[in-house]
């Protein structure tokens, strides 16, 4: 609806004549008539005064339909909020599920590695050096020789540097060679399958 028709309707609804409205706005009666005929339009100051007199908003006075704008803004805000909630849910699930997946994969790969590495075996070495007896024991995988656990006299490993090796037989050879080069002797037990712990 044009502003002129809106002014006419609101003036009549409020029971005002053109003269009475002109007096309240501070303009001539002819100005009100020109507005209502659509020949001219009120300026911003006059429009504010009309909105006060008719007790309507400026948007309603000029028939500016802001409902669609508000609905669209509300809809966009709701869409954004929904997207943020989905992202938060995804992050929470990711934070909870990722460690479980990683732990599961680690267990699976460890089992595959141990299966491919063969049975867990046990071998030990006893050495006599400078009238002292030293012992060391290795738990290792049969196929690869990879040491799972090792322990015994720290002196023997420290002086030989055998703890640098990941292969049980390499470590045994290093200990054996060092002791023999320094006038000692070593004996190894035969490898046997380690007991399950």
Closest CA to 147 of 176, 167, 163, 162: 167
Name the percent of the chain in helix, strand, coil, to the closest 5.
Answer: 60, 15, 25
> Alpha-carbon torsion 163, 164, 169, 172, what sign?
negative
Last residue of one domain, picked from the residues 61, 82, 101: 61
If asked whether residues 89 and 36 sit together in one domain, one would say no
If asked whether residues 50 and 70 sit together in one domain, one would say no
If asked whether residues 45 and 75 sit together in one domain, one would say no
For residue 83, give its domain range.
65-117
- Confidence check: pLDDT of 67 > 70: no
Q: What is the pLDDT of residue 111?
A: 72
- Confidence check: pLDDT of 117 > 70: no
CA atoms within 13 A on the CB side of 34: 10
If asked whether residues 111 and 126 sit together in one domain, one would say no
Residue pointed to by tokens 């060092």: 178
Contact between 125 and 136 (Cβ < 8 Å) = yes
- Does pTM top 0.75 for this prediction? no
Q: At 127, is the pLDDT very low, low, confident or very high (cuts 50, 70, 90)?
A: very high
Give how many domains the chain has, as a whole number.
Answer: 3
Last residue of one domain, picked from the residues 43, 61, 79: 61
Distances (CA, A) of 148 to 29, 69, 154: 104, 70, 17
Q: At 123, is the pLDDT very low, low, confident or very high (cuts 50, 70, 90)?
A: very high
Q: At 28, is the pLDDT very low, low, confident or very high (cuts 50, 70, 90)?
A: very high
Q: What is the pLDDT of residue 170?
A: 93
Q: What is the pLDDT of residue 1?
A: 53
Count of helices and strands (H, E) across the chain: 8, 5
Distance CA 3, CA 93 (A): 56
Which of helix, strand or coil describes residue 132? strand
Q: At 191, is the pLDDT very low, low, confident or very high (cuts 50, 70, 90)?
A: confident
Last residue of one domain, picked from the residues 61, 80, 109: 61
Distances (CA, A) of 156 to 132, 178, 187: 11, 9, 14
């Amino acid at each position: 609806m044009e502003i002129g028709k809106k002014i006419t309707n609101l003036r009549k609804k409020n029971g005002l004549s053109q003269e009475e409205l002109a007096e309240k706005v501070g303009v001539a009666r002819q100005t009100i008539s020109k507005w209502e005929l659509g020949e001219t339009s009120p300026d911003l100051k006059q429009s504010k005064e009309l909105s006060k007199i008719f007790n309507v908003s400026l948007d309603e006075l000029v028939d500016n339909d802001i409902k669609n704008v508000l609905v669209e803004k509300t809809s966009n805000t709701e869409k954004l909020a929904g997207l943020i909630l989905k992202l938060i849910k995804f992050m929470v699930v990711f934070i909870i599920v990722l460690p479980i997946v990683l732990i599961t994969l680690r267990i699976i790969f460890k089992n595959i590695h141990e299966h491919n590495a063969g049975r867990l075996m046990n071998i030990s070495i006893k050495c006599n050096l400078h009238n002292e007896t030293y012992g060391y024991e290795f738990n290792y995988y049969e196929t690869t020789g990879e040491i799972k656990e090792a322990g015994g006299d720290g002196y023997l490993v420290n002086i030989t540097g055998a703890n640098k090796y990941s292969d049980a037989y390499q470590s045994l050879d290093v200990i054996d060679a060092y002791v023999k080069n320094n006038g000692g002797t070593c004996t190894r037990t035969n490898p046997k399958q380690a007991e399950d712990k």
